[in-house]
Amino acid sequence: MLLVIFGAGASFDSVPHLAPDARSIAPITYLQGRVLHNADRPPLANQLFEDRPTFVAIMKEFADSLPIIPLLRGNVPVEQQLAALEQQAQKYPTRHRQLLAIRFYLHRVLWMCQRGWANHHKGITNYATFLDAIRRWREELDERVCFVTFNYDTMLEEAMQQVLGMKFDARGPVNNSLTSYIANPSYQLIKLHGSIDWGLEVSFPERPTSPQELIEHAAELQVSNQFMKAGPNINFGNGSCGFPALAIPVQSKSQFMCPETHREALVTSLPVVTKIIAIGWRATEQHFLEMLKNRLTGLKGDVDLMVVSGDQKGMMETTNNLAIGPPRGTTRKRALRSNGFTGLINEIGHLETFLR
CATH match for 2-12+123-194+258-355 among 3.50.50.60, 3.40.50.300, 3.40.50.1220, 3.90.1150.10: 3.40.50.1220
SS (H, E, C) the chain: CEEEEECHHHHHCCCHHHCCCHHHHCCCCEECCEECHHHHCCCCHHHCCCCCHHHHHHHHHCHHHHHHHHHHCCCCCHHHHHHHHHHHCCCCCHHHHHHHHHHHHHHHHHHHHHHHHHHHHCCCCHHHHHHHHHHHHHHHHCCCEEEEECCCCCHHHHHHHHHHCCCCCCCCCHHHCCHHHCCCCCEEEEECCEEEEEEEEEEECCCCCCHHHHHHCHHHCEEEEEEEECCCCCECCCCCECEEEECCCCCCCCCCCCCHHHHHHHHHHHHHCCEEEEECCCCCCHHHHHHHHCCCCCCCCCCEEEEECCCHHHHHHHHHHHCCCCCCCCCCCEEEECCHHHHHHHCHHHHHHHHC
The CB density around residue 22, as the number of other CB atoms within 10 Å, is 6
Taking residues 172-181, report their average pLDDT. 65
pLDDT(118) > 50: yes
The CB density around residue 249, as the number of other CB atoms within 10 Å, is 18
- Tens-digit pLDDT profile for residues 297-346: 899 888 999 999 999 999 999 999 999 877 776 678 999 999 999 999 99
Model pLDDT, residue 21: 83
Model pLDDT, residue 250: 72
pLDDT(252) > 60: no
Each residue of 190-216: b (16+ CB within 10 Å) or e? bbbbbbbbbbbbbeeeeebeebeebbb
| pLDDT band with cut points at 50, 70 and 90 for residue 187 | very high
Mean pLDDT for the chain?
90
* Domain edges within the chain: 2-12+123-194+258-355
pTM of the full structure: 0.92
The gap between the terminal CA atoms of the chain, to the nearest Å, is 13
- Report how far apart, in Å, the C-alpha atoms of 114 and of each of 74, 241, 314, 352 are: 23, 21, 24, 29
- Tens-digit pLDDT profile for residues 52-68: 989 999 999 999 999 99
